[in-house]
Amino acid sequence: MALKVSSIRAFSDNYIWAFGQDGSRDVCIVDPGDADPVLAMLLAEDLHISAILLTHHHVDHIGGVKALLAEFPDTPVYGPQSSKIDSVTSPLGGGDKLNVAGTEFSVISVPGHTLDHIAYHTCSYSNEENIESGLLFCGDTLFCGGCGRIFEGNPGMMYASLDKLASLPASTMVYCAHEYTQNNLRFALYAEPGNRDTIERLQQVNEARNAEVSTVPSMLSMELRTNPFLRCHTKAVRETVIEKMAIPFDSSDIEVFAALRRWKDSFSA
């Protein structure tokens, strides 16, 4: 059976993910920052929560957990080993495995956005569009066209975390937690103006957003071609960042990444 993934919109731009075996009434919920839209979806589709997966402790990712547990008591809650999340019943760290919805996931430690951030990856995901693709729930670490802000870690941590995700199979589908793609790609064209793949992708994303269509998930192969935060080793991105941010010509890839992140933090389009 195929694994079916559905999005649940929350707040202004959050994605809560629901997944389960196609045809099953049991679903797993990823990063439920708000319980109300999750409960509405469950009621409308007559579904039951079998597990909750959390990537990190920010309230827009965990704020709905207690209300969901009130409706579905004894539901296992998987999440990072963190004193900041008291609802986790099965704490996880990098290298751990878990089996939910009949699928084995590997846990990847990805500190940077927060120190406790983890991601969930499986290579056994398949559906009609992406047969035998990988699937990645990466919270706020890797975004479509960008990456998360560095709140608790440092640039070296975040760079290493993104490098782990970039090394996954190129066919991996990236399920991030926010609809930031349009703004991210606008910035990407400043960071790498001549990237034809980014120009074409932004055109497609503009059309999608004008039609109020989601731009998530994306495929990792597309991120590797268009996401400047995965391309700090390339000549084009390095030269642009070195000139724009006035950093030394012989800056390391991590230093280029750090300068790129500072630039993006102040970017408005």
pLDDT band of 131, cuts 50, 70, 90: very low
pLDDT value of position 269: 63
The answer to whether residue 234 scores a pLDDT higher than 50 is: yes
Does residue 128 surpass a pLDDT of 60? no
pLDDT band for 123, please (50, 70, 90 cuts): confident
Dump the DSSP string for the chain. Answer: -PEEEEEEEETTTEEEEEEEETT-SEEEEE--S-HHHHHHHHHHHT-EEEEEE-S---HHHHTTHHHHHHHSTT--EEEES-TT-TT-SEEE-TT-EEEETTEEEEEEE--SSSTT-EEEEEEEE--SSSTTEEEEEEETSEETTEE---SSS-HHHHHHHHHHHHTS-TT-EEEESB--HHHHHHHHHHHSTT-HHHHHHHHHHHHHHHTT-----EEHHHHHHH-GGG-TTSHHHHHHHHHHHT--TT--HHHHHHHHHHHHHT---
What integer pLDDT is reported at residue 45 of this predicted model? 97
Task: Let me know: does 159 contact 141? Beta carbons within 8 Å.
Answer: no
Express each pLDDT in 5-40 by its tens digit.
Answer: 999 999 999 999 999 998 999 999 999 999 999 999
Domain count along the chain? 1
What residues does 10 pair with on adjacent strands?
Answer: 14
CATH label of the domain that carries residue 24? 3.60.15.10
For residue 125, the model assigns a pLDDT of 56
Q: Report the predicted TM-score, pTM, of the whole model to 2 decimal places.
A: 0.95
> In this predicted model, what pLDDT tens digit does every residue of 137-187 receive, in sequence order?
999 999 999 999 999 999 999 999 999 999 999 999 999 999 999 999 999
pLDDT in tens, 42-74: 999 999 999 999 999 999 999 999 999 999 999
How many residues are given for the chain?
269
Burial class (CB in 10 A: 0-12, 13-18, 19+), 252: middle
Does the structure show a pLDDT above 70 at 118? Answer: yes
Q: Which of 104, 101, 103, 61 is nearest to 79 (CA)?
A: 61
What percentage of the chain reaches a pLDDT higher than 70?
Answer: 96
Q: Which domain holds residue 218?
A: 3-265
Task: State the pLDDT confidence band at 237, using cuts at 50, 70 and 90.
Answer: very high
pLDDT range class, residue 124, cuts 50, 70, 90? low
Look-up: residue for tokens 């960008």?
Answer: 146
